Amino acid sequence: PFWLKPSGSPVAFANQFHRQLSLRRRSALLGCQLCGGMAHTMAAFVLPREGGADLLEERVVPRPSLRPRDILVRVQAFAMNPVDTQVRDARGKFKAKDEAAAEFPEGKILGYDGAGIIEQVGEQATMFQVGDRVYFAGDLHRNGSNAEFVAIDERIVAKMPASLSFAEAAAVPLTMLTAWEGLFEGMRVPLDTGADQAHVPKRVLVLPGAGGVGTWVIQLAKKVGSLFVIATASRPESADKSRELGADLVINHREPLMPQLAEVGIDGVDYVYDGYGLHAYATQYVEVLKPFGQILTIVPSFSEPMPSISVPMAFKRASIHYELMFTRAAEGIEMERQHQILKRAAQLIDEGAVKVSIQSILPWSMDSLREGHRLQESGKAVGKIVIAREAGA
C-alpha cells in the first residue's frame, strides 16, 4: 500500500493520500455503475437549448422508461431530416423569430428516423419480440433516435426491409411516410389502379423532385399510384436523380412552370405535391392545376403568408391539404396505420419496386451529427444523410 512508502514532505504525503483516496472512490463508483447503475443510463447526443448545431453535445443520460405499448430499441443508425434543424431552433419556423431560445436543462434528444434492434418490450406491447430488427420515424413530442436507445410506441414501428442494412433502413421511414400519407390519404390518389385505367394517367407535379420526400413521392406516385410524374429540379444532379427514380418529365422550378408544361403539350396537372412552400408557389400552382385538382403541402410557414388564391381555387373547385407525419402519434389517432404503411414499404423495397436514396453515410460521432445538420441546412442534399454505427450492418 502507498501509505507504507511515504516520500517527501508531510504536505506531499497528504496530497498523495487524497489522490489515492479519490481514485479509490471513483473506482468504487464505476464498479457500482457497471454492476447496476449503468444499466439505467445511456449515451446520447443532446441539445441543451435552442440554437445552432454547435450547441449539440454528448452526455450520459437516463435510459428512457417504457409506456405500456412502447418498445425499447437499441439504435444502430438514424437519418437527418429538415425537422431536426427546425426543432433544434424553432424560432422563425414554428414560432416567432424574436422569441427567447428555449432551454432544455435535461437535454433534448433529436432524431426522427431510426433503425435498430428491440431490447425490451412494454407490458402491453404484443407486435414484436426482443431481437427483432425494426425501423421507425418516431414522435415529435418525445426524445428521439440520436441516442443509444429510444423508447417508441410499437404501433408506429415495423420490421425493417430484409434486404437493407440498418443505415439504409434508417433513411426510409419519415420521408416515405410523408410521401405516402400525402399522396394516398391527403390527396386521395387511388392505389394500384394502373391496370384498370382505360385512359391517360393523371398527372402529379412534385416540387422539388430530388429532396428527401420528393424521391419517395416520385417512386410511389409512379409504382403505386400509376401517375404521370412531373418532377422539378434546378441542378443537373437533381434532374438526373429525378429521372433515375422514374420521373416522366423534369422541369426547372427556377423558371415559370406553366410555359414549360405548355412547351411539351401538357395543359395542366391533377395533383401538386409541394415541398417548398405555398408562400412562394401558390399562384403558379393554381395556374397549372386542373379543375377538381388537389394541392398538398408539407411546408407550413409561421412567418411568410400565402398569396390569396381563393377565387381561382373556388372556380376550379380545387382543394388544399396539409401533411404532417407526426399527427398520428401526437394525437393518438389511427397510429397502427403507420405500422401498416411501413410494412408495405418494406415489401416494396424487398421486391425491388422502390429504392432508398442516400447521399452519404457518416460514422456515429458528435462531429458527424453536427456535419449532418450543416448538410441538411444547406438545401443541396440529394437523398438522405445517415449516421450509423456500422455503414454496412
pLDDT exceeds 60 at position 26? no
pLDDT exceeds 50 at position 152? yes
Record the cell numbers describing residue 107, joined without a space: 437535454
Between 112 and 300, the more confident residue is 112
Confidence band, pLDDT 50/70/90 cuts, at residue 366: very high
Nearest to 133 by CA among 148, 119, 122, 113: 119
Residue 270, phi-psi category: left (phi > 0), alpha (psi -120 to 50), beta (remainder)? alpha
Q: Can you name the residues that pair with 206 across neighbouring β-strands?
A: 231, 273
- Collapsing DSSP states into helix, strand and coil, what is residue 30? helix
pLDDT exceeds 70 at position 10? no
**Largest Cα–Cα distance of the chain, in whole Å?**
99
Confidence band, pLDDT 50/70/90 cuts, at residue 304: confident
Nearest to 84 by CA among 39, 138, 41, 123: 138
pLDDT of the residue at 86: 93
Do the beta carbons of residue 293 and residue 272 sit within 8 Å? yes
Distance of CA 227 to the CA centre of its chain: 25
pLDDT exceeds 60 at position 237? yes
pLDDT of the residue at 387: 98
Residue 234, phi-psi category: left (phi > 0), alpha (psi -120 to 50), beta (remainder)? alpha
Confidence band, pLDDT 50/70/90 cuts, at residue 31: very low
Q: pLDDT for 274-292, tens place per residue? A: 999 999 999 999 999 999 9
pLDDT of the residue at 392: 61
* Total-model pTM: 0.88
Query: 236 CB contacts (<8 Å, ≥6 apart)?
Result: none
Query: 365 CB contacts (<8 Å, ≥6 apart)?
Result: 387
Question: Is 374 exposed, middle or buried (CB count within 10 Å of its CB: 0-12, 13-18, 19+)?
Answer: middle
pLDDT exceeds 50 at position 265? yes
**Can you say whether the dihedral through the CA atoms of 358, 363, 369, 375 is positive or negative?**
negative
Q: pLDDT for 219-235, tens place per residue? A: 999 999 999 999 999 99
**Cα–Cα separations (whole angstroms), residue 15 to 19, 23, 29, 49:** 6, 12, 21, 39
Do the beta carbons of residue 313 and residue 320 sit within 8 Å? yes
pLDDT exceeds 90 at position 16? no
pLDDT exceeds 90 at position 2? no
What whole-number percentage of the chain has pLDDT above 70?
A: 88
pLDDT of the residue at 199: 62
**How long, in residues, is the chain?**
393
Confidence band, pLDDT 50/70/90 cuts, at residue 4: very low
Q: pLDDT for 57-112, tens place per residue? A: 999 999 999 999 999 999 999 999 999 999 999 988 888 888 999 999 999 999 99
pLDDT exceeds 60 at position 195? no
pLDDT of the residue at 9: 43
Cβ of 368: how many Cβ atoms within 10 Å? 18
